[in-house]
Chains A and B, each alone.
Chain A
Amino acid sequence: MNWGTFYAVISGVNRHSTGIGRVWLSVIFIFRIMVLVVAAESVWGDEKSGFTCNTQQPGCDSVCYDQFFPISHIRLWALQLILVSTPALLVAMHVAHRHHIDKKILKRTGRGSPKELEHIKNQKFQITGALWWTYMISIIFRILLEVAFLYIFYLLYPGFKMVRLVKCDSYPCPNTVDCFVSRPTEKTIFTVFMLAVSGVCVLLNLAEVVYLIGRACKRCLRGSDEESKVAWISQRLSTYRQNEINQLIADHSLKSKLNVTKKSPTEKGEMCSAF
């Protein structure tokens, strides 16, 4: 399991995202994960061995390093990227759940041919109904996690500039010693870059939220369309059930006895679930 497999897993979600969602995914992969793996990791690679203190006292280096860098930038960014990409899996699971229901319905109404089942697997879903909410929740989690990590970063390393020299006097350093950080300028450049791209990602996520809400409102205002008001699953079920009923009518030829009505669950008074 490495970034490559992670990429494969997350890009699977790509098909069900909005346009902005795809841009966000590309930004994550190209400007963050790629940069992290290809460049940033080598910059921070020798951070511990390159951290030198002006003393021969064994242990002083270790302790001072630990005091000034409780958790390395690189590890923070790796965790941030993993946690921020994970809500997309929620959407993937919801889509898989819908596929599964579709398959079950098809099988129950006797249409479970392998071709149809394959067709279901590749079917793209509209972001409506419960899927809209899942998608929305996943974006909000993304935003919250990004902001949380930016805040943690600010707490640990206030100011994005990496200093060349830190003064340290923790035990066992004999007095206040000068300790030198390795490659401070390069680290500053990459820190600024990664923070800027985080900011861009937060903006993209906010734009996506606004876009989704706007689209939903448009559909709400436009749609006195009965179909969009009915929940997705009951829509599917009533379509198939109607076919079954028709088949039964044909089989038993007792039309007069039948009084089956197709009830739509709008009786619950669903307001604008037209998303």
Chain B
Amino acid sequence: MDWKTFQALLSGVNKYSTAFGRVWLSVVFVFRVMVYVVAAERVWGDEQKDFDCNTKQPGCANVCYDHFFPISHIRLWALQLIFVTCPSFMVVMHVAYRDDRERKYKAKHGNNSKLYNNTGKKHGGLWWTYLISLFVKTGIEVAFLYILHHIYDSFYLPRLVKCGVKPCPNLVDCYIGHPTEKKVFSYFMVGASGLCIVLNICEIIYLVSKRIARIANKLNRQKRQIAVSHNDHNEEPFDNSIDTMPTLSKKEQPPSFRSAVKSSHRPPGLKLEEKIRASAPDLSFL
């Protein structure tokens, strides 16, 4: 099991994410996992060997290293990356569960009946799962950033630390290897975490506002249908003034196409109530 297999596992998540989710996934893989594997791991590679104390006392360097680095940055980031990407699996599992239910339903009631219109669409329970996974992801990111801040005193990595833990004979000087490089990479990884948190928050806002818009549209449509059913005796079947299509906002409106059909004869393929603008481009070819 290595980062490659992990990445293979996660690319399945790509299908069910929103656009923000896909950007988040790319940021995680390119700026975090990639930088981690290719650069950061080398910088921290020999950190215990490079930790030098100004004494010949055996065991002093070991004990001091353990005192100042209870858990290495590199290990913290590896854990953070694993935990942060796991909530996405909740979504995959929920879709798999839906598929399973659909299959059982089809087996019971014949192939033509459908339980779900589209198992991958974020409606109903899946929407909540997705939202909860976003909150969990954000929470984990913040928690790890706090742990890093708490253990390492805001990324402060000096060249020299003074250590007086037994068996060191007195207060000895211990020198950390590559402190500046480590600081640079700490800032980079923390910056990438921050970016991911911002993306998650944007995605939460986007999901919630889309849902609210959908509900508002539905209510609007119901109101209109009630209003139109009162006007059913209208002679003009092609009255352009009856706008049976809920209007899109000015920005997204395609070249105007006034409905030429009465609401009751609205052809099934022409429901334009949802935005044409794509919400989830498919990056699975990457």
What is A's interface to B at a CB cutoff of 8 Å? 1-3, 5-6, 9, 12, 48-49, 57-59, 61-63, 65-66, 69-72, 74-75, 78-79, 82, 86, 89, 92-93, 96-97, 99-101, 103-105, 108-110, 121, 171-172, 233-234, 237-238, 241, 244-245, 248, 252, 254, 257-260, 262-265
- Supposing A63-B160, A66-B159 touch, asked if A108 and B257 sit within 8 A by C-beta, the answer is no
Q: Is the CB of A171 within 8 A of B286?
A: no
Chain A residues with Cβ below 8 Å from B175 are 58-59, 62-63, 172
Residues A172 and B255 in contact, CB atoms below 8 Å apart: no
Given A57-B54, A58-B52, A121-B285, answer yes or no on A82-B31 (Cβ-Cβ < 8 Å).
yes
Q: Dominant SS at the A interface?
A: helix
Residues of B within 8 A of A234 (CB): 254-255
Interface contact tally, CB-CB below 8 A: 168
Q: For residue A208, give the distance in angstroms from its CB to the closest CB of chain B.
A: 22
Instruction: Render B234-274 as a binary contact track against A, CB cut-off 8 A, 1 for contact.
Output: 00011010000000000000111110110000010111100
| Residues of A with C-beta under 8 A to B184 | 70-71
In the assembled complex, how far is the CB of residue B42 from the closest CB belonging to chain A, in whole angstroms? 7
Whether A86 contacts B54 by the Cβ 8 Å rule is no
Instruction: Decide if B42 touches A99 in the complex (CB within 8 Å).
Output: no
B interface list, Cβ under 8 A from A: 3-4, 7, 19, 22-23, 26, 29-31, 33-35, 37-39, 42-43, 46, 50, 52-55, 159-160, 173-181, 184-185, 188, 237-238, 240, 254-258, 260-261, 267, 269-272, 276-278, 280-283, 285-286
Q: How far is the CA of A240 from the CA of B22 in the complex (A)?
A: 29
Supposing A48-B50, A263-B255, A264-B255 touch, asked if A2 and B35 sit within 8 A by C-beta, the answer is: no
Nearest CB to that of A92 among chain B residues?
B286
Q: Which of B37, B38, B160, B179 has the most CB of A within 10 A?
A: B38
Minimum distance in angstroms from B35 CB to a CB of chain A: 6
Q: Are B283 and A260 in contact (CB under 8 A)?
A: no
* Distance of A153 from chain B, by nearest CB (Å): 14
In the bound complex, residues from chain A placing their C-beta under 8 Å from that of B181 are 66, 69-72, 75
Cβ contact within 8 Å between A82 and B261? no
Q: Judging by beta carbons under 8 Å apart, are A105 and B33 in contact?
A: no
The docked-state distance in angstroms from the alpha carbon of A110 to that of B19 is 25
Compute how far the CA of A257 lies from the CA of B235 in the bound complex, rounded to whole angstroms: 13
Please state if B54 and A97 are interface contacts (CB–CB under 8 Å).
no
A248 neighbours in B (Cβ, 8 Å): 260-261, 267
**Alpha-carbon gap, A71 to B181, bound state (A):** 5
Cβ–Cβ < 8 Å partners of B260 in chain A: 245, 248, 257-258, 260
B residues near A97, Cβ cutoff 8 Å = 19, 278, 281
